[in-house]
Structure 1
């Protein structure tokens, strides 16, 4: 499918811009004012299979759903001029940079809480370096195998989804620990907070695809949504079975290594289309991405939603 006439062309740009926000508000309100997960306190007597199934549902709502909502901004982003698409890529880089910074703090905190701080740090460094090296090698292999000069935004979008998915494991672990301890209110608040937080991951994933000539089939969007948000489910399972500071430090370090490589890929993608990576517009949207994530996570989620 090309960038020609599409079904979304008939929808006003302002509606494409605010539509995902309306959906986000409706879902967040529904979660906050209802109890869709039932009586979590009673799950202390449930079987392991029942617990894992409930955490699968919770993880899907907290991880996959908000990412998919954010991906609904794709038609709006795609209709923009290339320099504004680059600005969205820069905003995505700001989002990723903030997440990486937060994950570094989590590595320090969980390493300090581990039984052996030294071993935790060694494991974290190996996880960071190993992930960065593997993703860097895959990137170079992909570049050598490409037979055309067209730089694929879809490939980078998948890398972004992988990096975000690795970071989402930590979110799921927080939900899993609260769930297994029977703290139903905290689980609900975490879910609402992560829904608001993770919605920004959707445009972060699809921004790279927006500058491609061809629109990929819907199966790619579905796959990227699952890759970016699905690991919240895996993290929930891990958190319910073992709240290990050592594992948490490792997963966070792996996420930082993946995000660093993705930031390099995003910069190269902008350079491929334009001579200058750092423009006033790109710098401004990068800062907006950092500031937006700070407001969503450190101000709203931690300051007002999560006690």
Structure 2
């Protein structure tokens, strides 16, 4: 960097820093003086509580509650199915955005529904419905082994099976390669819609203290921008366009983030007893996720892209292994807001991959996309949708 460039940068940073300091000082003054100049609010306090997690142990129900309203909340009494119960925790008022753990002494029964009613000090009743009471799994060695087995079944093995078709796909000509990439885009489009749908559904179940559906959008935008910046950095270091290995890596990362969200759903369903373990689960996910393996190796079908076997192994792990981590996190944490954010991250990653693959779909004739390419995209969507119907979770 020349002295002129350094001087120019200093001239730019000095007014920017002064502007930020001025804005910060103005906001601080507004916070201090503005609140005292406004009149006190009339009427009763606004009390809102959200139950973030529920754990069932022998003779006890453990609730993690968060204050999502503007005023502190003091819990005076707790009822389960209209029966008064002793509880421990939340001795002091819960302030805005703070969380507390309530331990309820109650002989709950497996498989029964319950309604927990929390009576505040001002007489407001806040209810939390539990559709099904199931003992919360303890994080033992056997539990982690089961989650790892589930993640392997639904993540790693199906992806590897799909990737094994690479030698057959390499025998295809250039036009067939383009159709395979279009088919991959169709698969990823379905995963995008599926991720958005799951994220919005999970976000709607959150308490809203830190956002619900907004977290899906935030995660998607942040992931898309970060991956775009990484791709631009790699292009600057290695000009000449995206290589097949780089595209395959981007596809694997995007699918891996989606499979992490899939693992979250599996772990959460297992934790609350809504997951039917069995052959239908394994076969359904195997058929559904095998197409993801095809999507990963599609950019490697050109003759110039012949990576060594260990790179293919890394790509398979990058796409499938996050399902194991997601299953463990989903069964132990079970936080709707975290799940919504991570599902949004997966959506943003997949959209960035679609942007990377889109230029490869155009033929040589003026960069137009042919009708067969459009049909291949539609075929990818239909195949992913059809195999998704076989997933019982």
**TM-score range with shorter-chain normalisation?**
0.7 to 0.9
* Shift in CA distance, 146/243, structure 1 to aligned 2, threshold 3 Å: same
2:179 matches 1:87: yes
The answer for unaligned runs of 5 or more in structure 2 is 1-134
Partner of residue 197, structure 1? 288
Higher Cα Rg, which structure: 2
| Separation of aligned partners in 2, 1:274 and 1:237 | 49
Aligned residues of 2:200 and 2:216 also touching (Cα < 8 A)? no
Alignment of structure 1 residues 138-287 onto 2, 5 Å: 138-147=230-239, 149=240, 151-181=242-272, 185-186=276-277, 189-271=280-362, 275-276=366-367, 278-287=369-378
| Separation of aligned partners in 2, 1:112 and 1:214 | 43
Give the structure with the larger helix fraction.
1
Alignment of structure 1 residues 94-113 onto 2, 5 Å: 94-113=186-205
2:143 matches 1:51: yes
Partner of residue 384, structure 2? 293
Aligned length: 259
Give the structure with the larger strand fraction.
2
* Shift in CA distance, 107/222, structure 1 to aligned 2, threshold 3 Å: same
What is the Cα deviation at residue 277 of structure 1?
Answer: 5.2
Aligned residues of 1:151 and 1:272 also touching (Cα < 8 A)? no
Partner of residue 60, structure 1? 152
| Separation of aligned partners in 2, 1:274 and 1:54 | 53
Aligned partner of 1:77 among 138, 160, 169:
169
Aligned CA-pair RMSD: 2.3
| Separation of aligned partners in 2, 1:45 and 1:135 | 36
* Shift in CA distance, 284/211, structure 1 to aligned 2, threshold 3 Å: same
| Separation of aligned partners in 2, 1:77 and 1:85 | 8
The answer for unaligned runs of 5 or more in structure 1 is 1-42
Alignment of structure 1 residues 125-144 onto 2, 5 Å: 125-144=217-236
